[in-house]
Structure 1
Amino acid sequence: MKMEVAGISHTGAVRESNQDVVAWQLTDDGNAAVLLVADGMGGYQGGEIASRLAADTVMEVLIPVLFQSEEAKRESDPGDCLETAFALANDRILERRRTDERLDKMGTTLVVAWVENGAAHITHAGDSRCYLVRDGQLTCLTRDDTVVQNMLEDGSINEADVANVPFRNVLTRAIGAMEPLELTFCSHPVRRGDSLLLCSDGLTHSVPEAEWEQILKECDSRESAVNALIEAALEHQASDNVSVVLLTLK
Structure 2
Amino acid sequence: MTELEGQMAEASPSQPAGDIRVHIFGRTDVGRIREHNEDSFIIADLTRKSRSIREEDRIQVVGDRGSLMAVCDGMGGAAAGEVASELAVNIIYEKLVEGDLPKDHDDLARRMVRAVEAAGLRIYSEAKLDRHHRGMGTTATVAAMLDSFLFLGQVGDSRAYILRNQQLVQVTRDQSLVNQLIEAGQLTEEEAENFEHNNIILQALGTADTVQVDLTFVPLRRGDVLLMCSDGLSGMVRYDDIRQTLLDHPDTVEACKVLTDKANDAGGHDNVTVIVARFEGEGLPDPSDEDPPLRYTKYLLPEDATSEPTIPGRRGTVKALDEPKIGSEVKDRLTDHGPSRSKVAQTLVGMTSPLAGRDFDEFRRARANAALDDEVVLPVENTPLWVLAALVIAVFGGLVFAAYYFIIKP
Corresponding position: 1:53 with 2:87: yes
Looking at structure 1, the residues matched to 106 and 217 of structure 2 have their Cα atoms a distance apart, in angstroms, of 15
Which structure 2 residues correspond to residues 36-75 of structure 1 after superposition, within 5 A? 36-64=70-98, 69=101, 72-74=102-104
Residue in 1 that maps onto 2:134: 104
Look up the equivalent residue of 2:148 and give its one-letter code. Answer: G
Give the letter aligned to residue 60 of structure 1: E
1:170 matched residue in structure 2: 200
CA distance in 2, matches of 1:209, 1:99: 41
Which amino acid in the other structure matches residue 82 of structure 2? E
* AA in 2 matched with 1:21: S
The CA distance in 2 between the partners of 1:212 and 1:75, in whole Å, is 31
CA distance in 2, matches of 1:64, 1:247: 24
Check the 8 A contact 2:36/2:79 in 1, yes or no: no
Contact 1:107 1:175 in 2 (8 A): yes
Q: 2:108 aligns with which of 59, 69, 78?
A: 78
Q: Say which structure is richer in strand.
A: 1
**SS of 1:73 mapped into structure 2:** coil
SS at match of 1:77: helix
Structure 1 residue 128 and structure 2 residue 158: aligned?
Answer: yes
Report the counterpart of residue 387 of structure 2 in structure 1: none
Query: 1: distance between equivalents of 2:155 and 2:72?
Result: 10
Normalising by structure 2, report the TM-score.
0.58
Match of 2:246 in 1: 216
**Superposed displacement of residue 76, structure 1:** 5.8
**Which structure exhibits the higher relative contact order, with contacts defined as CA atoms closer than 8 Å and separated by 6 or more residues?**
1
1:30 aligns to what? 61
* CA–CA distance in structure 2, aligned partners of residues 249 and 64 of structure 1: 25
* Structure 1 contact 39–108 (Cα < 8 Å) conserved: yes
Q: Distance in 1 between matches of 2:192 and 2:97?
A: 38
Aligned twin of 1:6:
25
Q: In the alignment, is residue 92 of structure 1 matched against residue 122 of structure 2? A: yes
* 1:156 to 2:186 alignment: yes
1:21 to 19, 33, 40: 40
- Contact between 1:25 and 1:63, CA under 8 Å: does it hold in 2? no
Deviations 1:103-162 (A, max 9, x none): 111000000001122111000100000111112221001111111111112221111110
**Consecutive unaligned residues in structure 1, runs of 5 or more:** none
User: Which digits, 9 at most, give the CA deviation of each residue in 1:178-199, with x for residues without a partner?
Assistant: 2321110011100110011100
What's the CA shift string for 1:220-239, capped at 9, x where partnerless? 41100110101111111120
Deviation at 1:75, TM superposition (A): 7.7
Q: Select which of 223, 235, 238 maps to 2:268.
A: 238
Contact conserved, 2:67 with 2:145, CA < 8 A, in 1? yes
1:229 is aligned to 259
CA distance in 1, matches of 2:177, 2:248: 35
Q: Which amino acid aligns with 2:35?
A: E
Q: Which runs of 5+ in 2 are unaligned?
A: 1-19, 49-59, 281-410
Measure the CA separation in 2 of the matches of 1:191 and 1:249.
Answer: 8
Paired-residue identity, %:
30
Which AA in structure 2 matches 1:229?
A: L
Alignment partners' CA distance in 2, 1:111 and 1:123: 6
Q: Is the 8 A contact 2:221 2:279 kept in 1?
A: yes
Q: Distance in 2 between matches of 1:112 and 1:83?
A: 9
Residues of 2 paired with 1:96 and 1:44: CA distance? 15
Distance 2:77 2:227 in 1: 28
Count of equivalent residues: 246
- CA distance, structure 2, for counterparts of residue 135 and residue 76 of structure 1: 28
* Superposed CA RMSD: 1.5
Query: Counterparts of 2:213 and 2:139 in 1: how far apart (Å)?
Result: 11
Q: Secondary structure at the match of 2:157?
A: coil
Aligned counterparts of 1:220 and 1:167: Cα–Cα separation in 2: 36
Partners of 1:198 and 1:244 within 8 A in 2: yes
CA–CA distance in structure 2, aligned partners of residues 75 and 134 of structure 1: 23
Stretches of 4+ aligned residues off by more than 3 angstroms: none
**Aligned partner letter, 2:152:** I
2:347 alignment partner in structure 1:
none
Q: Is the CA contact (8 Å cut-off) linking 2:155 and 2:212 kept in structure 1? A: yes
Is 1:117 the counterpart of 2:147? The answer is: yes
